Amino acid sequence: MRIGELAERAGTTTRTLRYYESRGLLHARRAENGYRTYDEGDLRLVQQIRTLQDFGFDLEETRPFVDCLRAGHPAGDACPASLAVYRRKLGELDVLIEKLRVVRTEVGAQLARAELEASAELPGGPEPRCELGG
Protein backbone atom coordinates (compact mmCIF):
# COMPACT_ATOMS: atom_id res chain seq x y z
CA MET A 1 0.00 0.00 0.00
CA ARG A 2 1.04 3.61 -0.44
CA ILE A 3 1.45 6.31 2.19
CA GLY A 4 -2.07 7.69 1.87
CA GLU A 5 -3.71 4.36 2.53
CA LEU A 6 -1.38 3.58 5.42
CA ALA A 7 -2.13 6.95 6.96
CA GLU A 8 -5.85 6.43 6.66
CA ARG A 9 -5.79 2.89 8.03
CA ALA A 10 -3.57 3.96 10.93
CA GLY A 11 -5.73 6.98 11.67
CA THR A 12 -3.01 9.52 11.07
CA THR A 13 -1.59 11.71 8.30
CA THR A 14 0.99 11.29 5.58
CA ARG A 15 2.96 14.09 7.14
CA THR A 16 3.20 12.14 10.38
CA LEU A 17 4.39 8.99 8.59
CA ARG A 18 7.10 10.91 6.75
CA TYR A 19 8.09 12.43 10.06
CA TYR A 20 8.40 8.96 11.61
CA GLU A 21 10.57 7.97 8.67
CA SER A 22 12.77 11.03 9.16
CA ARG A 23 13.19 9.95 12.78
CA GLY A 24 14.23 6.48 11.67
CA LEU A 25 11.17 4.74 13.09
CA LEU A 26 9.64 3.74 9.78
CA HIS A 27 11.47 2.44 6.71
CA ALA A 28 9.65 2.49 3.39
CA ARG A 29 10.38 0.44 0.30
CA ARG A 30 10.11 2.42 -2.91
CA ALA A 31 8.12 1.65 -6.03
CA GLU A 32 9.66 2.28 -9.44
CA ASN A 33 8.10 5.71 -9.61
CA GLY A 34 9.59 6.67 -6.24
CA TYR A 35 6.40 6.22 -4.22
CA ARG A 36 6.76 4.80 -0.71
CA THR A 37 5.37 1.29 -0.35
CA TYR A 38 4.25 -0.36 2.89
CA ASP A 39 2.92 -3.74 4.06
CA GLU A 40 0.75 -4.98 6.91
CA GLY A 41 3.78 -5.16 9.20
CA ASP A 42 4.30 -1.45 8.76
CA LEU A 43 0.68 -0.87 9.68
CA ARG A 44 1.08 -2.79 12.95
CA LEU A 45 4.24 -0.83 13.59
CA VAL A 46 2.50 2.50 13.16
CA GLN A 47 -0.40 1.32 15.30
CA GLN A 48 2.08 0.41 18.03
CA ILE A 49 3.60 3.88 17.90
CA ARG A 50 0.17 5.52 18.03
CA THR A 51 -0.93 3.47 21.01
CA LEU A 52 2.15 4.44 22.96
CA GLN A 53 1.79 8.08 21.94
CA ASP A 54 -1.74 8.01 23.30
CA PHE A 55 -0.23 6.83 26.59
CA GLY A 56 1.98 9.91 26.57
CA PHE A 57 5.18 8.21 25.41
CA ASP A 58 7.32 10.44 23.27
CA LEU A 59 8.64 9.19 19.96
CA GLU A 60 12.07 8.14 21.23
CA GLU A 61 10.41 5.97 23.85
CA THR A 62 8.57 4.03 21.18
CA ARG A 63 11.80 3.04 19.44
CA PRO A 64 12.44 -0.16 21.43
CA PHE A 65 8.92 -1.35 20.61
CA VAL A 66 9.44 -0.61 16.94
CA ASP A 67 12.80 -2.39 16.91
CA CYS A 68 11.19 -5.33 18.67
CA LEU A 69 8.47 -5.63 16.06
CA ARG A 70 10.95 -5.36 13.24
CA ALA A 71 13.06 -8.08 14.84
CA GLY A 72 10.16 -10.40 14.12
CA HIS A 73 8.45 -10.54 17.48
CA PRO A 74 4.67 -10.68 17.32
CA ALA A 75 4.33 -7.89 19.90
CA GLY A 76 6.35 -4.71 20.35
CA ASP A 77 6.63 -5.30 24.08
CA ALA A 78 8.07 -8.80 23.77
CA CYS A 79 11.61 -7.49 24.26
CA PRO A 80 13.43 -6.53 27.49
CA ALA A 81 14.13 -3.01 26.26
CA SER A 82 10.42 -2.41 25.83
CA LEU A 83 9.67 -3.71 29.31
CA ALA A 84 12.31 -1.36 30.66
CA VAL A 85 10.51 1.55 29.02
CA TYR A 86 7.21 0.38 30.54
CA ARG A 87 8.77 0.28 33.99
CA ARG A 88 10.45 3.64 33.65
CA LYS A 89 7.20 5.14 32.43
CA LEU A 90 5.30 3.69 35.37
CA GLY A 91 7.76 5.36 37.71
CA GLU A 92 7.42 8.67 35.91
CA LEU A 93 3.65 8.41 36.00
CA ASP A 94 3.67 7.74 39.73
CA VAL A 95 5.89 10.74 40.37
CA LEU A 96 3.83 12.97 38.11
CA ILE A 97 0.50 11.88 39.53
CA GLU A 98 1.69 12.41 43.07
CA LYS A 99 3.03 15.84 42.19
CA LEU A 100 -0.27 16.80 40.62
CA ARG A 101 -2.14 15.51 43.65
CA VAL A 102 -0.04 17.75 45.87
CA VAL A 103 -0.66 20.72 43.61
CA ARG A 104 -4.37 19.93 43.53
CA THR A 105 -4.44 19.92 47.32
CA GLU A 106 -2.54 23.19 47.55
CA VAL A 107 -4.67 24.96 44.96
CA GLY A 108 -7.79 23.66 46.70
CA ALA A 109 -6.52 25.03 50.00
CA GLN A 110 -5.74 28.41 48.43
CA LEU A 111 -9.21 28.55 46.93
CA ALA A 112 -10.86 27.69 50.24
CA ARG A 113 -8.84 30.30 52.09
CA ALA A 114 -9.47 32.99 49.49
CA GLU A 115 -13.20 32.24 49.51
CA LEU A 116 -13.25 32.50 53.30
CA GLU A 117 -11.50 35.84 53.26
CA ALA A 118 -13.81 37.10 50.55
CA SER A 119 -16.93 36.14 52.47
CA ALA A 120 -15.47 37.70 55.61
CA GLU A 121 -15.00 41.04 53.90
CA LEU A 122 -18.25 41.27 52.02
CA PRO A 123 -20.71 41.47 54.94
CA GLY A 124 -19.36 44.81 56.06
CA GLY A 125 -15.67 44.65 56.72
CA PRO A 126 -13.28 47.34 55.55
CA GLU A 127 -13.26 47.44 51.79
CA PRO A 128 -9.86 47.03 50.17
CA ARG A 129 -8.81 50.36 48.77
CA CYS A 130 -6.60 50.91 45.81
CA GLU A 131 -3.27 51.83 47.33
CA LEU A 132 -1.38 52.32 44.12
CA GLY A 133 -2.31 55.46 42.31
CA GLY A 134 -3.46 54.85 38.75
Partner DNA sequence: CCTTGCCTTGACGCCGACGTCAGGGAATAC
Partner DNA sequence: GTATTCCCTGACGTCGGCGTCAAGGCAAGG
- Residues engaged in binding DNA (CB under 7 A): 2-5, 12-16, 18-19, 28, 32-36, 53, 58-60
Q: Which is nearer to DNA, 31 or 90 (CB)?
A: 31
Rounded least distance, CB 49 to a second copy, Å: 15
Q: Which is nearer to a second copy, 14 or 37 (CB)?
A: 37
User: From the CB of residue 115, how many other CB atoms can be counted at a distance below 10 Å?
Assistant: 10
- Beta-bridge mates of residue 29: 37
- 103 burial level (CB within 10 Å; 0-12, 13-18, 19+): exposed
Rounded least distance, CB 64 to a second copy, Å: 12
Three-state SS at 131: coil
Report the Cα 68 to chain-centroid distance in Å. Answer: 20
Q: Which is nearer to a second copy, 5 or 94 (CB)?
A: 94
